[in-house]
């Protein structure tokens, strides 16, 4: 597995592989079973698998949130190698945002609702870094998790609006046995907080916004940002809560079979 720190290295490494399919799995690291499911799908479907490992400062509104984000590059590289990744792109921030950087991509409407309302600028950071990763890697396929349903919707719109020649692959949410969706942020929860966090998947499993809000309102130590039906493809009941200083998001599909 090749680990690249610069855009030039990625391009040189991928140049001889362009005749085959290239799958890109964008991640912020602290890899878990959710990431693994994306990597496995990419490995099964593509000739070359590239994974990016970049905690994107532009999608964090709060410096403390960015600083607290879990990082373990050594372990992530082991997990990626084990999953059969061919190339990891793990750039420093100034490789992605060189001095004077001022070009941003904004998916205006989709980026401003739900998560966008509580995290202004978040999807601008996501769309910009994902488009830049797309132009660096030029993947034929890109892999994202349904866990971040609004992110999927934003990327789908970006691909359509800018006529990118990339097949978007969306994989189902991977959960722990108790129902909590796997997330790098779960590592930040104390045992008590983790127990309280279970209120979110339990509430969403009602698939009813009113019932979900009522369940969460009755849960101690859980602050609700929103629980709303979102008319995505497929439609979901999406929620975001804060447990202590950790913010968690989750969703359930309301129609179709991709639960």
> Given the rule CB under 6 A, which residues bind ligand AMP?
27-28, 34-35, 37-38, 144-145, 147-148, 171, 173-174, 181-184
The smaller minimum CB distance to ligand AMP, of residues 30 and 227, is found at 30
CA quadruple 105, 109, 110, 115: dihedral sign: positive
Q: How far is the CB of 173 from ligand AMP (least distance, A)?
A: 4
Minimum distance, C-beta of residue 153 to ligand AMP, in the bound complex (Å): 12
Residue nearest to ligand AMP (CB): 145
Residue 111 β-bridge partners: none
Among candidate residues 189, 164, 165, the one with its CA nearest the CA of residue 176: 189
Choice between 10 and 154, CB closer to ligand AMP: 154
- Give 22 or 211: the residue with its C-beta nearer to ligand AMP: 22
Q: 32, 35, 122, 141: which one is catalytic?
A: 35
Instruction: Decide if 188 contacts 70 (C-beta within 8 A).
Output: yes
126 close to 56: Cβ distance less than 8 angstroms = yes
Shortest distance (Å) from residue 151 CB to ligand AMP: 6
* Peptide bond between residue 100 and the one before it cis (omega within 30 degrees of 0): no
Q: What is the dihedral of CA 136, 137, 138, 141, to 10 degrees?
A: -140
Nearer to ligand AMP, 125 or 219 (CB): 125
Rounded CA-CA distance 251/232 in Å is: 11
The two beta strands, 22-27 and 141-145, are parallel
| Closest to ligand AMP by CB, 172 or 218 | 172
For 62-71, which contacts have Cβ atoms below 8 Å and span 24 or more sequence positions?
A: 65/247, 68/188, 68/245, 69/28, 69/30, 69/184, 69/185, 70/29, 70/30, 70/184, 70/185, 70/187, 70/188, 71/29, 71/30
Q: Provide, rounded to whole angstroms, the least separation between the CB of residue 148 and ligand AMP.
A: 4
141 in active site: no
Nearest approach, Cβ of residue 117 and ligand AMP (Å): 19
Report the catalytic residues: 35
């Amino acid at each position: 597995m090749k680990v690249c720190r610069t855009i030039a290295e990625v391009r040189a490494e991928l140049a001889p592989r362009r005749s085959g399919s290239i799958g890109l799995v964008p991640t912020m690291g602290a890899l878990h079973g959710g990431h693994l499911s994306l990597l496995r799908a990419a490995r099964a479907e593509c000739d070359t698998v590239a994974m990016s490992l970049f905690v994107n400062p532009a999608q964090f509104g709060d410096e403390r949130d960015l600083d607290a984000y879990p990082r373990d590059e050594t372990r992530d590289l082991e997990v990626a190698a084990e999953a059969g990744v061919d190339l990891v792109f793990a750039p420093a921030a100034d490789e992605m945002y060189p001095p004077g950087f001022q070009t941003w991509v904004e998916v205006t409407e989709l980026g401003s609702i739900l998560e966008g309302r509580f995290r202004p600028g978040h999807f601008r950071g996501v769309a910009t870094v994902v488009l830049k990763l797309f132009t660096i890697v030029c993947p034929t396929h890109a892999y994202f998790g349904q866990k971040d349903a609004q992110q999927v919707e934003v990327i789908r719109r970006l691909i359509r609006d800018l006529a990118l020649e990339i097949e978007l692959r969306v994989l189902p949410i991977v959960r722990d046995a108790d129902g909590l969706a796997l997330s790098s942020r779960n590592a930040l929860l104390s045992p008590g907080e983790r127990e309280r966090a279970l209120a979110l998947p339990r509430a969403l499993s009602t698939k009813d916004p009113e019932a979900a809000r009522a369940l969460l309102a009755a849960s101690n130590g859980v602050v609700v940002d929103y629980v709303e039906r979102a008319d995505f493809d497929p439609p979901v009941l999406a929620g975001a809560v804060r447990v202590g200083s950790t913010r968690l998001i989750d969703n359930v599909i309301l129609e179709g079979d991709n639960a």
